[in-house]
């Protein structure tokens, strides 16, 4: 158990690179030169690839590196993954030209966009881990007891004396130390004409590309019927509304009417370090339209405080990266919190709405597809309850805590209130026996009639965890919240909540 974090630390970059290549169906060919490589280089590659799930692909991609330096091998893995994704992107046009069905063409567009984000993520990770490769890998290699690597040590102070990361500017520190309500907005949006704009998308045009400091948009009370996209170049954007039910961004794009789930989101947030406070997000398409996302979040280190997300199926698409939700309300029917982010929901309310007559209700559908992915949903001190119009049909349309969208789906519910709407089984299969042995579901120190464990499903993937294990899924540990949540001005509990 002690070596697990070290294995992940050194190998996750290589693993992610290999997983991306395998996931897009890339068939790799050997790079050659195996017998001509120095034996020490071969052993170094074998050692660093040994803990990965795709050992053969890893070794093939690094065979031409001709080095024993793990830093160089990690760099080579980044470049190999980027090359392979770019090849697929370049060839995708031919496939798209042959596809006539509109939904299939949309699916290909979605894949192309996601592969582009994968390349961006790999490049960003490579840039951000250059320093880590100098400061952390010597220790990690030592922890792994890997021999044959000659690494020079280096030290650099990453934290300033005031406890903020050294790369945070003085102006940012002052903003981070203030309550968000005290920050003067860069732009005001208002339906009544009292702001600079009456459209949120107009205000977003003012965000500088790759913005390095908080860009605050005050969105006054009103209903804003527009599809809002905070694109990948819009960093550090802050939305502040006048209240989660007073400022609402709404839309009704949906799968039934011909839009892919990925593109149905009323609000899509991609740029890193996004924050929203006192605002509502809605997809009003209704249960009959099936998949209809209110908000899709791909923003790394994103924070939502006192927000409301309303929809039916697929309300909150917690797509990827690290996300923190505090004092938020999410309503829906089927899989209304889904995706593959590393997300913590603290003090949030999950409200089950009345579904169609033939439907069951499922709160979560987490999508971890690889066993080493550091993703999962953690719901801490949340309440699971029913909307007034759902309660009369709760026996007919049962509510489940979650179901496994992907093979290694991971969800932890702890210190939460589970009302009697939660069925005794607790969890629902996706289809047949899919993922029942490989999922990772846990409940810890919950309360309420829905928390009774007597009749819970007995799948192999259901975990019984103790307080020490539960601590690993708190915001401070799971999200490393001290690095980015603690000084945001948003309420935050790093560990277990006392008294629960």
pLDDT tens-digit series, residues 138-164: 554 444 444 444 434 444 344 444 444
Rama region for 4: left / alpha / beta (φ>0; ψ in -120 to 50; rest):
alpha
pLDDT at 290: 97
Query: Is residue 179's pLDDT more than 80?
Result: no
**Residue 156 buriedness (CB in 10 A; 0-12 / 13-18 / 19+):** exposed
What share of the chain in percent tops pLDDT 90?
62
Q: Can you say whether the dihedral through the CA atoms of 440, 446, 448, 452 is positive or negative?
A: positive
**How far is Cα 213 from Cα 243, in angstroms, rounded to an integer?**
24
Closest C-alpha among 339, 341, 340, 353 to residue 308? 353
**How far is Cα 353 from Cα 330, in angstroms, rounded to an integer?**
10
pLDDT, the chain, mean: 84
Residue 125: pLDDT band with limits 50, 70, 90 = confident
Tokens of 6: 């070290």
Mean pLDDT, range 38-42, rounded to an integer: 67
With contact defined as beta carbons under 8 Å apart, do 60 and 31 qualify?
A: yes
pLDDT, tens digit (0-9, with 9 covering 90-100), for 17-36: 333 333 333 333 334 444 44
Query: Is residue 478's pLDDT more than 60?
Result: yes
pLDDT at 446: 99
pLDDT at 80: 81
Residue 96: pLDDT band with limits 50, 70, 90 = low
Query: Is residue 177's pLDDT more than 70?
Result: no
pLDDT at 169: 42
Q: Which residue has the tokens 């007995």?
A: 458
Q: Which residue has the tokens 């897009």?
A: 24
Closest C-alpha among 31, 30, 28, 65 to residue 47? 65
Query: Is residue 131's pLDDT more than 80?
Result: no
pLDDT at 181: 53
Mean pLDDT, range 369-390, rounded to an integer: 97
Please state the separation of Cα 34 from the chain's center in Å. 39
Residue 190: pLDDT band with limits 50, 70, 90 = very high
pLDDT at 136: 54
Mean pLDDT, range 431-438, rounded to an integer: 98
pLDDT, tens digit (0-9, with 9 covering 90-100), for 297-353: 999 999 999 999 999 999 999 999 999 999 999 999 999 999 999 999 999 999 999
Residue 182: pLDDT band with limits 50, 70, 90 = low
Q: Which fold has domain 184-483?
A: Pectate Lyase C-like (2.160.20)
Instruction: Give catalytic residue positions.
Output: 335
With contact defined as beta carbons under 8 Å apart, do 137 and 71 qualify?
A: yes
DSSP 235-287: -SEEEEES-TTTEEEEE---TTTT--GGG--SEEE-SSS-EEES-EEEE-S-G
- The CA R_g of the chain, rounded to the nearest whole Å, is 23
Look at the chain and count its residues: 500
pLDDT, tens digit (0-9, with 9 covering 90-100), for 407-427: 999 999 999 999 999 999 999
Q: Where are the domains of the chain?
A: 42-126, 184-483
């Amino acid at each position: 158990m002690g070596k697990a974090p070290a294995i992940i630390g050194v190998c996750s970059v290589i693993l992610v690179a290999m997983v991306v290549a395998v996931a897009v169906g890339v068939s790799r060919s050997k790079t050659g030169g195996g017998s001509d490589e120095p034996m020490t280089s071969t052993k170094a590659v074998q050692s660093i690839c040994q803990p990965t799930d795709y050992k053969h692909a890893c070794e093939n991609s690094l065979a031409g590196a001709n080095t024993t330096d793990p830093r160089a091998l990690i760099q080579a893995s980044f470049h190999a993954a980027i090359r392979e994704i770019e090849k697929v992107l370049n060839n995708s046009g031919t496939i798209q030209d042959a596809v006539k069905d509109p939904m299939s063409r949309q699916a290909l567009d979605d894949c192309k966009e996601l592969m582009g984000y994968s390349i961006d993520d790999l490049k960003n990770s490579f840039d951000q881990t250059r320093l880590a490769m100098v400061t952390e890998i010597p220790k990690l290699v030592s922890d792994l007891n890997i021999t044959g690597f000659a690494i020079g040590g280096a030290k650099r102070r990453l934290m300033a004396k005031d406890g903020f990361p050294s790369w945070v500017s003085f102006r940012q520190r002052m903003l981070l130390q203030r309550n968000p309500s005290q920050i003067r907005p860069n732009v005001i949006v208002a339906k009544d004409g009292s702001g600079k704009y009456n459209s949120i998308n107009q205000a977003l045009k003012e965000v500088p590309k790759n913005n390095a400091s908080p860009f605050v948009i005050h969105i006054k009370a009103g209903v804003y019927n527009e599809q809002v996209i905070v694109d990948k170049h819009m960093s550090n954007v802050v939305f502040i509304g006048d209240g989660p039910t007073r400022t609402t961004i709404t839309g009704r794009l949906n799968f039934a009417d011909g839009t892919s789930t990925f593109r149905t989101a009323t609000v899509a947030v991609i740029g890193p370090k996004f924050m929203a406070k006192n605002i509502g997000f809605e997809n009003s398409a209704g249960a009959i339209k099936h998949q209809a996302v209110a908000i899709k979040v791909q923003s790394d280190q994103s924070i939502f405080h006192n927000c409301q997300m309303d929809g039916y199926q697929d309300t909150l698409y917690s797509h990827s990266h690290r996300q923190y939700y505090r004092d938020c309300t999410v309503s829906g029917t089927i899989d209304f919190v889904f995706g593959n982010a590393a997300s913590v929901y603290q003090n949030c309310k999950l409200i089950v709405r009345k579904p169609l007559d033939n439907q069951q209700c499922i709160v979560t559908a987490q999508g971890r597809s690889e066993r080493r992915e550091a993703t999962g949903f953690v719901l801490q001190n949340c309440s699971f309850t029913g909307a007034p119009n759902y309660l009369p049909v709760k026996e007919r349309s049962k509510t489940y805590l979650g179901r496994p969208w992907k093979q290694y789906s991971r969800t932890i519910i702890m210190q939460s209130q589970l009302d009697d709407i939660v069925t005794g089984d607790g969890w629902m299969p996706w289809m047949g026996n899919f993922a029942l042995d490989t999922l990772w579901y846990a409940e810890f120190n919950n309360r309420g009639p829905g928390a009774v464990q007597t009749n819970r499903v007995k799948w192999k993937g259901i975990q019984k965890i103790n307080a020490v294990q539960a601590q690993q899924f708190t915001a401070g540990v799971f999200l490393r919240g001290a690095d980015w949540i603690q000084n945001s001005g948003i309420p935050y509990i790093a560990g277990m909540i006392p008294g629960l």
